[in-house]
C-alpha cells in the first residue's frame, strides 16, 4: 500500500533504464502536441543518443496516399513517428529474412530492403499485425533523454509483439501500457491531461 495518500498523485518515473526494444510512456500531464499521451518504441539507445518511433499518433493520410506505385488491397494506416525527418518512411515489421533490417527485439524488426517488403505485399502477405508504417522519428541526445526521465517526463516499460504491431487509437495504447506498470500507474492513466478541465 502507499505510505501516504498524496504519493498516489505524485508523478514519478519508475526508474527503469531505457534500452533498445523498450517503450517510453509519457507522464499524464505532458501537454506537448507531439509527445503528450504518447508511447514510443526505442529503436536505438547508445552513448551517441536515442531514436524512437511514436506508436500511437495516426496521421490523416494513409500509405496509399504517398506510395502510389504499390498495389495495396486495403487502406494502410500511417503514423507520425516523430518530429525529425518527417518526409522519410520508416516501418516496423515481423518479417524474418528481410535483408538489412535491424532487429529491435524478439520478433520485431525495423526497415530493411523495401523491395522485399513490396514483394511480400504483392504476394498477398498480411499487412495488419505484420507491418506498420511511420513518417519521421523521435530523437534525443544521450544526456537529453536521461534528463527527461530524471524529470519524470517518461516511464520506461516493455510491450509484447502484438501490442507493438496493433493499430490503436491515440489514447488506448497509452492507457494500456501505463496501466500495465501497476496500480498507481493505472490510476494515472485516468487522470485528465489538463487537470483544470476535470
Q: Between 69 and 22, where is the model more confident?
A: 22
Residue 190 located in a structural domain: no
Residue 42 located in a structural domain: yes
- pLDDT at 193 > cutoff 70: no
What is the model's pLDDT at position 2? 43
In angstroms, how far is the first alpha carbon of the chain from the final one? 26
What is the model's pLDDT at position 26? 94
Residue 13 located in a structural domain: no
The reply to whether the predicted model has a pTM over 0.75 is: yes
- pLDDT at 35 > cutoff 90: yes
Domains contained in the chain, number: 1
Residue 169 located in a structural domain: yes
Residue 155 located in a structural domain: yes
Tens of pLDDT, residue by residue over 146-166, are 999 999 999 999 999 999 998
Name the E strands within the chain.
Answer: 23-26, 39-46, 49-54, 58-62, 77-80, 84-93, 102-105, 108-110, 131-140, 154-157
> What band does 5 get if pLDDT is binned at 50, 70 and 90?
very low
- List the CATH number of the domain containing 114: 3.40.1740.10
Residue 48 located in a structural domain: yes
- pLDDT at 80 > cutoff 50: yes
Residue 162 located in a structural domain: yes
Q: Where are the alpha helices (DSSP H) in 67-189?
A: 114-122, 142-150, 161-165, 172-179, 183-188
Residue 47 located in a structural domain: yes
Which domain, by its residues, includes 91? Answer: 18-179
Amino acid at each position: 500500500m502507499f505510505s501516504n495518500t498524496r504519493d498516489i498523485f505524485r508523478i514519478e518515473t519508475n526508474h527503469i533504464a531505457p534500452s533498445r526494444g523498450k517503450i517510453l510512456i509519457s507522464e499524464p500531464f505532458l501537454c506537448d502536441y507531439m509527445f503528450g499521451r504518447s508511447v514510443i518504441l526505442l529503436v536505438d539507445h547508445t552513448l551517441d543518443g536515442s531514436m524512437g518511433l511514436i506508436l500511437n499518433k495516426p496521421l490523416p493520410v494513409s500509405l496509399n496516399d504517398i506510395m502510389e506505385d504499390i498495389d495495396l488491397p486495403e487502406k494502410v494506416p500511417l503514423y507520425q513517428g516523430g518530429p525529425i525527418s518527417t518526409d522519410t518512411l520508416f516501418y516496423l515489421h515481423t518479417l524474418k529474412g528481410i535483408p538489412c533490417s535491424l532487429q529491435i527485439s524478439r520478433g520485431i524488426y525495423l526497415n530493411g530492403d523495401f523491395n522485399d517488403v513490396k514483394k511480400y505485399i504483392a504476394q498477398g502477405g498480411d499487412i495488419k499485425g505484420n507491418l506498420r508504417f511511420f513518417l519521421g522519428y523521435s530523437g534525443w541526445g544521450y544526456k537529453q533523454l536521461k534528463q527527461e526521465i530524471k524529470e519524470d517526463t517518461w516511464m520506461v516499460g516493455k510491450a509484447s509483439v502484438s501490442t507493438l504491431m496493433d493499430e490503436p487509437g491515440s489514447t488506448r495504447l497509452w492507457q494500456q501500457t501505463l496501466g500495465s506498470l501497476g496500480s498507481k500507474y493505472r490510476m494515472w492513466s485516468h487522470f485528465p491531461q489538463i487537470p483544470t478541465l476535470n
